[in-house]
Amino acid sequence: MAVGSTRERFPNDLLLVQFLRSAKRCANQRPFIHDHFGFDKSLEELIADILRMRDLVRQQLPTSAFTERGILKEEAPYVAVLTRSGYEFIVAFFAVRVLGGAPIPFGSGILPEEARYFVNSSNASCILAGRDCYEKAERIAALTSGSPDSKTIVSIPISCDAEPVKEIDVTIDETLTMDPRGPGLVIFTSGTTGPPKGAVLPRICIVFQPDAPANCQTVCFRPPHWLGGAISLIEPMLTGKQLHILRERAGVEKIWKVIRDNRITGTGFTPGVLREMKEWLEVQSEDEQEEYIKAFKNIGIIHCAGAMVSPSVLRFWKSRTGLVFNNVYGSTEVGGLATFKILDGTQRSDAIGVAFPGIKVKLTAGDHGEICVKSPFMLTHYIGDEEMTRAAFDDEGYFKTGDFAQLRDGEYIFSGRANTDYILFRHYRIPSVQVEVALTALPYVTEACVLGVPDHEAKQICAAVVRLTRDQEELQGRNSAHRIDLARLRTDMNETLPKWMLPVLVKVLEPGEEMPQTVSQKPIKKQIIKACFGVEESWSAENEVPGVEYWGSMPSPEEADTKPWDWQGLQRADFKAEA
């Protein structure tokens, strides 16, 4: 069968329907995909590579893996994808969807032993590998197939050089309809609460994005094994946006230059990326800053997700660009999006607003409690774990996010994460997000991570890792009298927080020093505790750690008698007696 002939048909998957409509609307634009890994591709070339990839999978897997219609059987729909190239991921993603399957993107740095866990837990049928990852895929396949209780796994190279189709005349097979709630994408989520969990997102996830106006361009700088990265690669193919894909770990300088050199009209950011872009821009000349900001304004709306943006970063982008700032709350399990809040720079940065249209949100205790979400795009189940799947939903079918919020004046205010974002200090439950908000509201702080460090006497003590603004770093570099220390932080924070919530352990990052983070720039708190505070099991005041200041886990006598509610009215006499 000739590639791209009128006999070529895709199954009736809503995502594929939208993809083909967009591809036909944007045909004959070369190139449409600019991958800095070495590909400049048209949509005609993309379609050809998808069709060839589909055929390669059918050739390599046994016929028993497919139905009579050439679709992967329901009991084994999962296909692993290992690549460093965004274009190769796009090819693999759509080829798997054409086969009725669900891709599982791997991080390119994954270890074979880690990949074996993902392959075995998902019962993946094969590994589609990019040109720079094929050798690793072979090692993973050999390691997996070598297990006594495992089936044989094959690795298949991702097509990236097929002859382009002359015309995009692929059609939809209306007799082969795919269930919109069937498996469409698998993202393994963080194992901070146990082993990594394979969240199965439905085929309908990412669908129903509106068509983009003509000449829209976007940029992807995140890897596809994070949902935000996968969406930023696939969504442009569905809506008709030219796509620029940066190499892994490209850095914010590359992001700025793509924005400057191309008319980027939209993309998404994380708070960490916005902070790094801010800091990089601030050391450029005034003329260069104006040039970059002028180009940045083509984006129109700043969409920020993944964490809470600090007030200083928010104020910078609002004052320098004047753009709408959309603060988005969501998670992998809910399909990426749950609520949004347009921030004008004056509200608190933990305001997450209201639910997106078509998505329902509630709190377990009415006006406060755990955030629960019901969405057509949310996960259907965790792979191979019925018990965890049942525990993830309440009786009304809402997904329990593990995040907490308050409802004020009809809008949600983020309070923190269950367990990890609450510090159990003696009889107190300290919301770490609230402490982070107070820290980042200080004019000389640009980033903060607040966490509970294990302590034998107090269960946990409130610790903070702080990054100062560039101006403050330069100021105290010239004059040590202006140095920011723990005493200054506690004094300034006590204007808005009670004493019991103030950090007693602090590490101020040196210029250029980084704290451990995930690929999505979320702090890895267990690693931070060890790397920044030198704690293996429990904090010890006897061991001095360079760059770390300790206040003590109990207040001094003068602190015990301060303004009302500094200690919630609890143990004030005990504090005096023990001092």
Q: Tell me the pTM.
A: 0.82
Contact 509, 533 (CB under 8 A): no
How high is the pLDDT of residue 420?
67
**One-letter amino acid for residue 322 of the chain:** G
pLDDT score of 572 more than 80: no
**Cβ contacts of residue 3 below 8 Å, gap of 6+?**
48, 51, 52, 162, 163, 165
Q: Name the region of 419 (left: φ>0; alpha: ψ -120 to 50; beta: rest).
A: left
Distance, C-alpha 163 to centroid of its chain: 35
- What is the pLDDT confidence band of residue 213, given thresholds at 50, 70 and 90? very high
What pLDDT digit, counting tens, does each position of 80-131 carry?
A: 999 999 999 999 999 999 999 999 999 888 888 888 889 999 999 999 999 9
Instruction: Report the greatest alpha carbon distance in the chain.
Output: 87
Report DSSP letters for 174-199, one per residue.
EEEEPPTTSEEEEEEEP-TTSS-EEE
Quick one: residue 427, left, alpha or beta (phi over 0 = left, psi -120 to 50 = alpha)? alpha
| Alpha-carbon distances of 150 from 77, 117, 197, rounded to whole Å | 16, 11, 19
Q: How confident is the model at residue 522 (pLDDT cuts 50, 70, 90)?
A: confident
pLDDT at site 302: 97
Q: Which position has the higher pLDDT, 563 or 506? A: 506
In sequence order, what are the residues at sequence separation of 6 or more whose Cβ sits closer than 8 angstroms to the Cβ of residue 55?
none
Residue 353 contacts residue 411 (beta carbons within 8 Å):
yes
CA–CA dist 376, 334 (Å, integer): 9
| 3-class secondary-structure state, position 271 | helix
Q: What is the pLDDT of residues 33-47, one digit of tens each?
A: 999 999 999 999 999
Strand order of the β-sheet with 381-382 is 183-189, 197-202, 381-382
Long-range contacts of 425-432 (CB under 8 A, 24+ apart): 425/452, 425/458, 425/459, 425/460, 425/461, 425/462, 425/500, 425/553, 426/458, 426/459, 426/553, 426/571, 427/570, 427/571, 428/500, 428/501, 428/568, 428/570, 430/462, 430/500, 430/501, 431/404, 431/501, 432/462
Q: Which two tokens stand for residue 338?
A: 């749950």
DSSP letter, residue 500: G
Closest CA to 240 of 525, 454, 46: 46
Rg of the chain over all Cα atoms, to the nearest angstrom: 26
The residue count for the chain? 579
> Peptide bond before 103: cis, by omega within 30 degrees of 0?
no
Listing from the earlier edge strand, what are the strands of the sheet with 39-41? Answer: 39-41, 33-35, 242-245, 217-220
469-488 per-position pLDDT tens digit: 999 999 999 998 999 999 99
CA of residue 387 relative to chain centroid, distance: 25
What element of type H or E holds 236? helix 227-239
Q: What is the pLDDT at residue 441? A: 93
Residue range 165-188: mean pLDDT, rounded: 96
Condensed to tens digits (0 to 9), the pLDDT of residues 137-166 reads 999 999 988 766 667 899 999 999 999 999
**pLDDT tens, position by position, 399-446:** 999 888 999 999 999 887 666 678 878 767 788 889 999 999 999 999
Structural domains in the chain, sorted by start: 9-177 (3.40.50.980), 247-417 (3.40.50.12780), 422-578 (3.30.300.30)
Could you tell me if 132 and 84 are in contact, meaning their C-beta atoms sit under 8 angstroms apart? yes
Phi/psi for 559 (5° steps) reads -75, -25
- Mean pLDDT in residue range 320-341: 95
- Mean pLDDT computed over 335-347: 90
Q: What angle do CA 220, 222, 225 make, to 5 degrees?
A: 125
What's the pLDDT score for residue 571?
35
With cut-offs at 50, 70 and 90, classify the pLDDT of residue 563. low
User: In the numeric block, which tokens belong to residue 496?
Assistant: 């808005």
**Higher-confidence position of 348 and 356:** 356
Token pair, residue 155, equals 């690795």
Cβ atoms within 10 Å of 1's Cβ, excluding its own? 8
Query: What angle, rounded to 10 degrees, do the helices at 432-440 and 486-493 form?
Result: 100
Contact partners, residue 513, CB within 8 Å, separation at least 6: none
